[in-house]
Structure 1
Amino acid sequence: MKKILVIISLFLIQISYAQLTAAQYTIKNIKANTKYSDYGTSYFGPNRIIFASSKLDGKKLKSKFKKADDDLPRYDLFKGFLNYKGEINYVKKLLNNFVTKYNESNVSFTPDLRHVYFTQNNIKKGKYIEDDSQWVNLKIYRASVKTNGEWGDIVSLPFNNDKYSCAHPSVSEDGRVLFFSSDMPGSYGASDIYWVTINKNGTYGEPQNLGAHVNSAARENFPYVEGNILYFSSDRPTSSGGLDVYMVALDDQDAEPVNLGAPINSEYDDFCFVIDRQHKKGFFSSNRPDGKGEDDIYSFVQETEMQECKQVINGEIRDKETNKIIPGAVVTMYSHNNIILSTYPTKSDGKFSFDLACRGNYRVEANQV
């Protein structure tokens, strides 16, 4: 793929909502919850769900990312099928060769479902590794998903480190960006949201902090990306208590994170928000006292539209010298801080289209396949 010199013609269609506004939701405690801790749902295709549970006995390890004063139980990964009522049925433990006696949780699949990223305690040769403060840090791993569903070819991501945690991976819709939580040096608070490019050759760029418009002096964890919207949890002063779920538009450098409000958020920890925006349904986790266990999974239905100011940017790719249409180019839209927002392959007419926030600076790049 090579870069090409182009003339880009843009046509803007403005839509009139002034700022991102949270929708209204109805929630339900799902039947699959146990008296133990169940949390962290991830979609695996249209009707399969993977989540973490402590319902099997195991060693307790300290965790930086959730309840720093407590020893948390071991978590294993479980899989189940999603029905139309938002229940997870036919739950079974995810059996893979990588499973350890410590913790696995928070998974995210690539769009083609051929690879998966997941969080695991820092272990070497079957034993956990403590840092200088006797914390067991977390690391992100990638595995290939075989045709029989088994995970193999497991590798630790290159920016993991024994001295800090990297956790809670979330892959963008086009599979080119990985968002995650970390308390690596340079963070604004106890943990921040970072992003890193995923290159086609299997390598990664340098992790980038999302910046002060998202991160704070508090904890920011559990990112989830749906389109141009980043959902995450934070215990910043504007939370209802504990961790609250927030959302922010990635393509608007002036955007302030919006608290999703009740009933998603409560006076307790509310986290691991995931949504299927096409069907307006999803899940989140909470340790609110009306649940069945320490942490419970709640399903939700989005009852109203989420209001946001959007503009449709249409354009076409032409050769700068000949002014001829260039078919088969790949157009990439970048945010103000160079996050890949979306890619669009042009057809024979050389045209492309992006939906973006009304406010924001963008960079367009075209490459010829």
Structure 2
Amino acid sequence: MDGTVSGQRLRLGLVYGDGIGPEVVGSARQVANEALAAAGCPATEWVTLPMGRRAIDEFGTALPESTLEGLADTDGWILGPHDNASYPPQHRIAPGGAIRRHFGLYANIRPAQAFPGIRAVTPDIDLVIVRENSEGFYADRNMAVGSGEFCPTPDIALSVGLVTRTASERIAHEAFRLAATRRGRVTIVHKANVLPLTMGLFRDSCYTVAGEYPGVTVDDEHVDATAAHLVRAPGDYDVIVTENLFGDILSDLAAQLGGSLGTAASLNCSGTRAMAQAVHGAAPELAGRNRANPVALHRSTAMLLRWLAQRREQSCLAYAADRIDRAVAATFAAGIATADLGGLASTAEFTEQVTARIHRR
């Protein structure tokens, strides 16, 4: 064991979602159980809660109030992908976004790295994108009432972007704290040359926070330059902090440069709540075929356990997270992967390979 059993057991939520959700969430639960046991953690209580098309069929809504109440009664949760584009028109609001807003999950942490054994466009990529998750041009997050998009006439559409000093400084602190545990560098990404008020406020707020972290080097770039530099020299980056829309786009680019969206982990969090959620979608064409890649949610779950370890001061949770990450990397290094990465393993087979390696020192 990595540590002694200590602290109260975890109570974690499971939200299976749509498409491949039940397969990848089930795989993440299996891997987490093995890692927690191997690390000497108390047994975990899992709470299954409905979301998505099945919730619509049973409760008349994609995100029942009982699900939000159930999530509030957990220490954290694993969220499966949703396929809201296929919902009936009156239910098209994305439940994942609604959950983030309800719980104030203002930070979206998205690491991107390449793995030995997996072909990558840029094998030296190893960075984290810290994305402000509550403002920007996302219409479901930037208005107290109603949407941030509107049409004064049927032929004109307008969008309002929201940037506040409070939210910008809050996300900057997340980025600088993280950089202090890594290679000590933060790059502020913005577009202040053409959006001087909103993006200028974001950039300047981040620089204000930088003064509180003298051990961390800081610079800034325009988002279009960052996109080009990520392709050319991703090894130059350590932690990137940026606003909502830019972070969404750059993190998908970085994930693909490292191999695939199928390996892209993500944690949505505030100071008191955290949700593991993979970057990829529901892939309904793969649902039930035992072909989905569960790695993104494995790694997202490891991020959740590491976040909980810090807040609960329960070291065995960090050991469990480390075991998951090492086991995934070792499985790739052994030449085992799912079809999207050029391998032959099914979802179940890959999960078995990872769980077997969790128990190896």
TM range, smaller chain? under 0.3
Structure 1 length as normaliser, TM-score? 0.26
Whose RCO is larger (CA < 8 A, sep 6+)?
A: 2
Compare the two structures and name the one with the higher strand fraction.
Answer: 1
Compare the two structures and name the one with the higher helix fraction.
Answer: 2
Larger Rg: 1
Structure 2 length as normaliser, TM-score? 0.27
